Structure 1
Amino acid sequence: MKKFSITIAGGGSTFTPGIILMLLDNLDKFPIHEIKLYDNDPERQATVAGACEILLKEQAPDIRFVETTDPEEAFSNIDFVMAHIREGKYAMREQDEKIPLKYGVVGQETCGPGGIAYGMRSIGGVLELVDYMEKYSPDAWFLNYSNPAAIVAEATRLLRPNSNILNICDMPIGIEELMASSIGLSSRKEMDVKYYGLNHFGWWTDIRDKEGNDLLPQIREHVSKHGYVTVEKSKQHSEASWNSTFAKAKDVQALDPETVPNTYLKYYFYPDYEVAHSNPEFTRANEVMEGREKFVFEECQKIIDNQTSKGTELHIDEHASYIVDLARAIAYNTKERMLLIVENNGAISNFDPTAMVEVPCLVGSQGPEPLVMGEIPRFQKGLMEQQVAVEKLVVEAWVEKSYQKLWQALTLSKIVPSAQVAKDILDELIEANKGYWPELSKEGAGTLATDEVVKS
C-alpha cells in the first residue's frame, strides 16, 4: 500500500501537534511515509517540531520527519500540503479585534473589519504556498484551512483557478459533533446533512441518520432552547467566549426556526450585543495567547526537556480528523460526503455562480463534486449576496491595491454601521498592517473589470 508524504505549512502553529497526533491515530487508514513541517518562523517552529519529532519516534519511528524553512525541501516529492498559516501571528489578530472595538464595531478574526484585515494579510501567504507546491510537486493537493477561509477561497478561485486546492473549515464539523451529542449520537458521522451558505455564514436544512430518519426536528428543538450547549462537557470548549457563542445560537436560530445556523452568524445578527459583551482590553486573541498558545508551547518544551511524551497533556485535535478524511477521499477515491468551500456553479441555483459557497460535496481523486442544494430563501440569499460582495471586493482590493475597494468592502459589511466608521477603521488598520498588506493606492478603483482579466 502506498504511503503518503505530507507537508504541514504553518509548522509552528498551536494546532500542529494535534494534527500530528490525529495522523498517527489514523495510520491504519492513511499510511504515511514522511511528514514535513514548514514555517517562515524558525524559532517558533523549532519548539513544535522538537516535540513532534519525539512523538513520531515513540509512536511511528518508520515515518521520516523533516523540519525546514526551505521551500524546495518542504514542497518536493509530496502528496499533500495541509496549510494553516497565520500571517502576523496572534499579535496581529489582537489588532484585528481591538481596532474595530475602539469604534464600537465587532472585533472578530474572520467577521467584519477584523476578517477583512486578516484576509488582506493571508492572500499573499497562501498563494505563495500554492506556488511552491505547484513548482516542486505539481500533482500534489493543497488542503487549505487557513483563515479567513472565505476570502482565501475567493482569492484562490480568482488567481489560481486551475490549481489542486480544497478550501475547508472545521467549524461546521465541531457544530455537528455538538448536534450529535445533543440527541444522543456518538459521532457526527452517524448523520448526513444538507447545508448551504458561505464560510462562517450558513444553515443546516436537513439532517438524517444513515437509515434516512429525520433528525432535524429534534436538533432544532434543542438549539431553540439551549443553542449548541450540551450536557457532555468534553464536546465543549473550555473558554468562556466559546461557550457564550454556543449558547447564543438559540437567538440566531430564532430568525429562521426551520433551520439550524452556523454560530458565526451571531456577529452579523447581534453585533450590538457582541460589542456590549466584549472587553476592548482583553479579546479572544488574548484569551488564546494566555490559554492554548501558552499551554501548547509549554507542553512541547516539556516533551523536549524530558525527551519523552510520557505524561504530556497534548491531545488529538478531533476537528483534525476532517483533514485525514479529506486526504483519504482524494487518495482512495472514496466519494465521501463532506462540506467544502467550492465555486457555486449552480449548486445553489438562484445565487452567483462564481461565489465560493460552502455545501456538501462528494470527494474523490478528481476533487469535489458539489451536491445541488436548489433555490434558497430570500432572507438567506439577501444576507449571502451582501457578504459575498464584501469578500469579492476584498480580493479585488488586494489585486488592484485599491483603497477605494477596500473602503467599499468595509462599508458593505453588515457589521459596520456607516461609511465614515468604515473609513476610520480602515485608516487605522492600514497603519497597523504596514508590511503585511499591499500598499494601497487612492487613485481610482484599478483596472480589474472581470474575472477573465485576472485569469488571463
Structure 2
Amino acid sequence: MKLTVVGGGSTYTPELIDGFARLRDTLPVRELVLVDPAADRLDLVGGLARRIFARQGHDGRIVTTSDLDAAVDGADAVLLQLRVGGQAARQQDETWPLECGCVGQETTGAGGLAKALRTVPVVLDIAERVRRANPDAWIIDFTNPVGIVTRALLRAGHRAVGLCNVAIGLQRKFAGLLGVAPADVHLDHVGLNHLTWETAVRLGGPEGADVLPRLLAEHGDAVAADLRLPRPLLDRLGAVPSYYLRYYYAHDEVVGELRTKPSRAAEVAEMERQLLRMYGDPALDEKPALLAERGGAYYSEAAVDLAAALLGGAGSPYQVVNTSNRGTLSFLPDDAVIEVPATVGGKGAAPLPVADVDPLYAGLMANVTAYEDLALDAALRGGRDRVFRALLAHPLVGQYGYAEQLTDLLVAHNREHLAWA
C-alpha cells in the first residue's frame, strides 16, 4: 500500500508518522511519500519520520520529494495537509479582520474565506494530478477550511472525504471523564466542519444509551472550561458545541481578547521554529511533547482509521467525517458537505440517519452553508463582488459596511495568491 502526504514538510507530520508506526496492523503502509516544496523542512521532517519508523520496528519505506506527480503516482490514498501562504498568510488572516471589529481566525469568518480563496484552486489542481495518476485513489482532506475544500473536491467528481479532529478529540475527552475506553463512546455529532454540536453521547454503539445528561451533570464545569463557554449555557443547550462555536456565541468577547494578545499564528510560528530545531536532532526518534501544543491532537488515529476503512482494511465502520449531505439533513442542499457519523468503506462515506435538528442549530447551519456556497463560487470564479457577497452572507460579518472594508483588506493581503486580483 502506498500513501502520499501532500504538505509532508509540515510540523504536524510526525504526529501522523507516529500513528502510522503504532497502528501498522490497521493500516499496513509499505511506502509513504512525503511531498513538499520546502526542501529544508522536508529533510528535517523526513529524517525524523524514518527514525520514528525504525524505533517502532516499522519496515515501510519513507520517501521525500518535491515532485508532486512522482509522489502521487500509484498512490492508493493521498492525504492533503497543505497551507497555501504558510504561517505568514495565517498571521494576516488572524489580524486584518480585527480592524473591522470582526473575529480574526484562519478557518471561519473573513480569515477563513481568505484561506479558502487561496486553497481551493491549489487543491483542485493537485486532485486532477492524483486522478490522472490513479483514478481509484482516495483523497483525504485535512486542509482547512475542510468543509469548503471537500465540497470543491466532491463537486469536481473526486473520490474525497474530509477529516477533522474535533470529534475524535471530544470522544477521547468524554471517555476519560466517564472512565471508559474511547472505542465505547459514540457521538451524535451533527453540523458542518467547525460548526458542530454533540447532541448525545452513547455508550457501546450508535444505538447505545445516551449518557450526555449524566456527563453534563457530573463534569459540566470541566467541559465548559475546555470550551471557554459558561457552564449555564451548556445546561440550557443540553448539548456540547465545538469550541469553534465560541466565535459565534461570544463574538464580541473573543474580538476583545484577540485585540489584546499575540495571535495564535505568532504562537504557532515560534512553536514551529522550536520543533524544526528538535527534528534536526539525529538522536530524536519519537514525536516531542511540544508537538501536542501545535494542534491536531489525535489526527493520526483519525487519519489511519479513515484511510484503512476506505482501502478495505481494519478501519472502524462508523466514523465522523465530512461528506455530501445527500438528504441527511432535509434543510440543507444535497451537495452541502456536512460533518456527521457515517459508515465508511471501499465505496466511500455514507451518512448515518440524524435525528431532528433543533432549529437553534439548524438555522445557523443553513446560514453558514449558504455562505460556503458563495465562498466556493468566489474561490472558483474570483471577482471582488463574489468575495463581497460571501462576506455579507457570513453571520460573523453580516453588515454591508464591514463586508466592503473586509473585501478590500482581503484582496490587498492576498493579491499574490489570487489570479484574478
Equivalences for residues 350-369 of structure 1 within 5 A: 350-369=331-350
Q: Structure 1, residues 287-319: CA drift from partner, whole Å, max 9, x if none?
A: 11122x12321210113xx4x527955778533
CA contact (8 A) 1:105 1:275 kept: yes
Is 1:173 matched with 2:168?
Answer: yes
Root mean square deviation, CA, Å:
2.2
Is 1:300 the equivalent of 2:304?
no
For the 8 Å contact 1:196–1:204, the answer to whether it is kept is yes
| Shift in CA distance, 112/157, structure 1 to aligned 2, threshold 3 Å | same
- Distance in 1, matches of 2:288 and 2:106, equals 30
Q: Which residue of 2 aligns with 1:6?
A: 3
Contact 2:21 2:52 in 1 (8 A): no
CA contact (8 A) 2:228 2:243 kept: no
Letter in 2 for 1:358: E
Identity of aligned residues (%): 29
Counterpart among 108, 111, 115 of residue 118 in structure 1: 115
Contact kept in structure 2, 1:98 and 1:280, CA below 8 Å: no
Q: Deviations over 1:177-235 (max 9, x none)?
A: 22222222242x21122121111111112221117232111223356433354xxxxxx
How far apart are the structure 1 equivalents of 2:287 and 2:368?
46
Deviation string 1:311-357 (CA, Å, 9 cap, x unpaired) is 95577853310111111112226561111111111111233222111
TM-score w.r.t. length of structure 1: 0.85
2:371 corresponds to 1:377 = no
Count, aligned residues = 414
Q: Which residue in 2 is equivalent to 1:206?
A: 200
The answer to whether the 8 Å contact 1:348/1:373 transfers is yes
Q: Does 2:44 correspond to 1:63?
A: no
Is 2:162–2:322's contact at 8 Å kept on the other side of the alignment?
yes
Q: 1:72 to 1:202 in 2, by over 3 A?
A: same
Deviations 1:42-100 (A, max 9, x none): 22222212222333344446322211111221011211111111111111000000001
Q: Which has the larger displacement, 375-384 or 137-146? A: 375-384
Q: 1:353 to 1:144 in 2, by over 3 A?
A: same
Counterparts of 1:315 and 1:404, CA distance in 2: 40
2:249 pairs with one of 269, 275, 279:
269
Cα distance in 1, alignment partners of residues 94 and 32 from structure 2: 34
Question: Which amino acid counterpart does residue 34 of structure 2 have in structure 1?
Answer: L
Shift in Å, 1:367: 0.7
- Out of 288, 295, 312, the residue aligned to residue 268 of structure 2 is 288
Whether 1:221 and 2:221 are equivalent positions in the alignment is: no
Secondary structure of 1:221 counterpart: helix
Which deviates more, 264-273 or 39-48? 39-48
Match status 1:54 vs 2:48? no
The residue correspondences of 1:47-446 to structure 2 (distance < 5 A) are 47-60=44-57, 62-158=59-155, 160-161=156-157, 163-187=158-182, 189-210=183-204, 212-222=208-218, 224-229=220-225, 246-248=227-229, 250=231, 253=234, 257-279=237-259, 282-291=262-271, 293-303=272-282, 306=283, 309=285, 313=289, 318-332=298-312, 336-416=317-397, 418-440=399-421
- Report deviation, 1:432: 1.0
Deviations 1:1-54 (A, max 9, x none): xxx211111011111011001100111222121110011222222221222233
- Gapped runs of 5+ residues in structure 2? none
Matched residue of 2:101: which SS? coil
Change (3 A) 1:416 1:144: same
Contact 1:83 1:143 in 2 (8 A): yes
Preserved contact between residue 51 and residue 286 of structure 2 (Cα < 8 Å): no
Equivalents in 1 of 2:287, 2:4: separation in Å? 27
SS of 1:414 mapped into structure 2: coil
Q: In the TM superposition, what is the alpha-carbon distance from 1:251 to its structure 2 partner?
A: 6.3
